[in-house]
Amino acid sequence: MAPDPRPARRLVQTPGSAFTRGDRSGFGRWFWTIDKTLLLLILALVAAGISAVFAASPAAARRLSGNNLRYDDMHFVYRQLLWVAAGVPLMLATSMISHRNLRRLAVAGTLLCLLALVLVPFVGGGTNGSARWIPIMGFQFQPSEFFKPCFIVTTAWLLSLKLEDASLPTMQISAALLAMALICLISQPDVGQSALIATVWLVQAMLAGLSLTIIALLAGLGLAALVGAYFTLGHFADRVDKFLFNSGDTSQIEKALNCFRAGGLFGTGPGEGRMKFKLPEAQTDYIFSVIGEEFGMIACAMLAGMFLALVLRALLLAMEEEDPFIFLATSGLAVQFGLQAMINMMVNIKLLPSKGMTLPFISHGGSSFLAVSIGMGMLLAFTRCNPFLKGRPWARGALPA
């Protein structure tokens, strides 16, 4: 057979080819500088959340059905998939934004959410004696959820400026923004979110060098505020009394504990839980109890370990960061994420009074899921440029400031 006269074609991989470390495209720089451990942990939590909502959806749908309103058993699963389809791309898009633009967006988001918090008592709605949502085109927008990541990044920027020039009143400005937010949140009332945001601010202020004496005074002021809330907010006092003295109707937390008792170590199996049908808010506040019943305490411990691993990974990356702004922003976002998860899980096992706080990426909810996605997108963006990447030619100049 005569040889083929056509020259042989060779596949040449140039330094700028896709999926190589020399790829200088926007996606290439993102792919090779993103912290893949953090990304995998986040995606694993999202997948666990879908499974958890799948288990909780029938209980929630049947509890809410009535008065000629009928929910399909998979109603909340379909909604959760929609939020995942919107939230994950939003998170990835946020992780691609430069630090400078993230800072600008955070400041704008803080001011807009603060304005929305002011408007909530006048135009908002809610349940269980609180008003926390603003209805927008059929979507229940909860300003406090979006305020958290934006405020944390804004505070990080203000405190980092203080480190550069001690004469700037940025600490006072940040404290004033916090005070305004707390006033709005207490008026809803939302003591849980108030305590969470104030705690994260204290952590960031301490990391920025605020005197331990002042930190102690502010912590004491916070405790005094909680005591004042107990004597002035009946809804909050009722929850505290149920937790401390088992007074009033304590069936809600007892039902949550019964789920853990029924599940034991290994759970009853997916779809086999029965105690979950007695749970209030099985798809949101008490979804951890549903996991305990159907998947067991071992699965709950593994889920808690995933949250802990994510927070520790982020803090380790923050500790190696030389830029004060990135250090404070990364630390604040990680602490807020971990504290919120811890509070929700502790409420479910009766170590804290009921807070009405969701489990990040696990609980069903639009505002919560989208806000957490934005926060984790910011965390991924801030951990892209860190000293672990220094000295690697393919990472130099990967991100603008």
Q: What is the pLDDT of residue 10?
A: 45
Instruction: Tell me the one-letter amino acid at 249.
Output: D
Q: Answer yes or no: is 260 within a domain.
A: yes
The backbone torsions φ and ψ at residue 262, rounded to the nearest 5 degrees and listed phi first, read: -70, -35
The answer to whether the bond into 58 is cis (omega within 30° of 0) is no
Could you list the beta-strand ranges (E) of 47-204: 134-136, 139-141
Q: Answer yes or no: is 20 within a domain.
A: no
Q: Answer yes or no: is 152 within a domain.
A: yes
Domain total of the chain: 1
Q: Which structural domain, as residue segments, surrounds residue 49? A: 32-389
pLDDT tens, position by position, 311-333: 999 999 999 888 999 999 999 99
Q: Answer yes or no: is 23 within a domain.
A: no
Q: Which residue has the tokens 């839980």?
A: 273
Q: Which of 63-67, 75-79, 209-213, 321-325 has the lowest mean pLDDT?
A: 63-67
Q: Answer yes or no: is 6 within a domain.
A: no
The alpha carbon of 167 is separated from its chain's Cα centroid by a whole number of angstroms, namely: 33
Q: How far apart are CA 241 and CA 228, in angstroms?
A: 14
Residues whose CB falls within 8 Å of the CB of residue 1, separated by 6 or more in sequence, listed in order? none
Q: Answer yes or no: is 171 within a domain.
A: yes
Q: What is the pTM of this model?
A: 0.88
Q: Answer yes or no: is 25 within a domain.
A: no
- Find the angle CA(121)-CA(112)-CA(343) to the nearest 5 degrees: 70
- Yes or no: say if 107 and 41 are a contact pair by the CB < 8 Å rule: no
pLDDT tens, position by position, 298-314: 999 999 999 999 999 99
- Yes or no: say if 173 and 158 are a contact pair by the CB < 8 Å rule: yes
Q: Answer yes or no: is 27 within a domain.
A: no
11-24 b/e with 16+ CB inside 10 Å = b?
Answer: eeeeeeeeeeeebe
Q: Which residues pair with 141 in a beta bridge?
A: 134
